[in-house]
Chain A
Amino acid sequence: MYVIVVGGGKVGWNLARELMDKGEEVTLIESDRRRYLVIEQELEHAVQYGDATELWVLERAGIQRADLVIAVTGDDEDNMLVCQVAKEKYLVDRIIARVNNPRNLQHFKMLGIQPAVSATDLILRLIEHEVPRYGLVHLLALEEEKLEIIELEVSHDSPAAGKRVVDIDLPEGCLIISVLRGGDGFVPKAETIVQGGDEVLLVLDPGLEEQITPQFTSPGDN
Chain B
Amino acid sequence: MFVLIVGAGRVGSSVAKTALTAGHEVSVLDEDPLSHERLDVGADGTWEDRGGRFTVGTALEIDALLEAGIEQADAFIAATDGDNTNLVVAQLADKRFGVERVIVRVMDPYRAAWYAEQGLETISPTAHAISMFNKALDL
Instruction: Chain B residues near A103: list those with CB within 8 A.
Output: 60-61
Q: Once the chains bind, are A55 and B84 in contact (CB under 8 Å)?
A: no
Q: Does B108 reach chain A (CB closer than 8 Å)?
A: yes
Q: Who on chain B is nearest to A82 by CB? A: B84
Q: Once the chains bind, are B88 and A56 in contact (CB under 8 Å)?
A: no
Q: Does A128 reach chain B (CB closer than 8 Å)?
A: no
Complex: A26 Cα to B83 Cα, angstroms: 27
Q: Who on chain A is nearest to B61 by CB? A: A103
A-side interface mostly: helix
Q: Does A67 reach chain B (CB closer than 8 Å)?
A: no
Q: Does B95 reach chain A (CB closer than 8 Å)?
A: yes
Complex: A80 Cα to B114 Cα, angstroms: 16
Instruction: Chain B residues near A107: list those with CB within 8 A.
Output: 60, 88, 92
> Which listed segment binds B: A71-79, A149-157, A181-189, A191-199?
A71-79
Q: Once the chains bind, are A77 and B114 in contact (CB under 8 Å)?
A: no
Given A55-B114, A107-B88, A110-B91, A77 and B108 touching (CB < 8 A)?
A: no
Q: Does B134 reach chain A (CB closer than 8 Å)?
A: no
Q: Does B96 reach chain A (CB closer than 8 Å)?
A: yes
Given A81-B87, A81-B88, A104-B60, A110 and B96 touching (CB < 8 A)?
A: yes
Q: Once the chains bind, are B114 and A53 in contact (CB under 8 Å)?
A: no
CB B23 to nearest CB in A, in angstroms, measures 33
Q: Does A145 reach chain B (CB closer than 8 Å)?
A: no
Q: Once the chains bind, are A54 and B108 in contact (CB under 8 Å)?
A: yes
CB B118 to nearest CB in A, in angstroms, measures 7
Q: Does A88 reach chain B (CB closer than 8 Å)?
A: yes
B60, B83, B85, B92 interface centre (most CB from chain A within 10 Å):
B60
Q: Who on chain B is nearest to A104 by CB? A: B60
Complex: A89 Cα to B87 Cα, angstroms: 15
Interface string of A83-117 (1 = CB under 8 A from B): 00100110000000000000110110011000000
Given A110-B96, A111-B91, A56 and B84 touching (CB < 8 A)?
A: no
Q: Who on chain A is nearest to B91 by CB? A: A111
CB B72 to nearest CB in A, in angstroms, measures 20
Given A53-B83, A88-B118, A110-B96, A77 and B88 touching (CB < 8 A)?
A: yes
Instruction: Chain A residues near B84: list those with CB within 8 A.
Output: 53, 75, 77-78, 80-81
A-B contact pairs, 17 of them (CB 8 A): A53-B108, A54-B108, A75-B84, A76-B60, A77-B84, A78-B84, A81-B88, A85-B114, A88-B118, A89-B114, A103-B61, A107-B60, A107-B92, A110-B95, A110-B96, A111-B88, A111-B95
B residues with a Cβ closer than 8 A to A are: 60-62, 82-85, 87-88, 91-92, 95-96, 108, 110-111, 114, 118
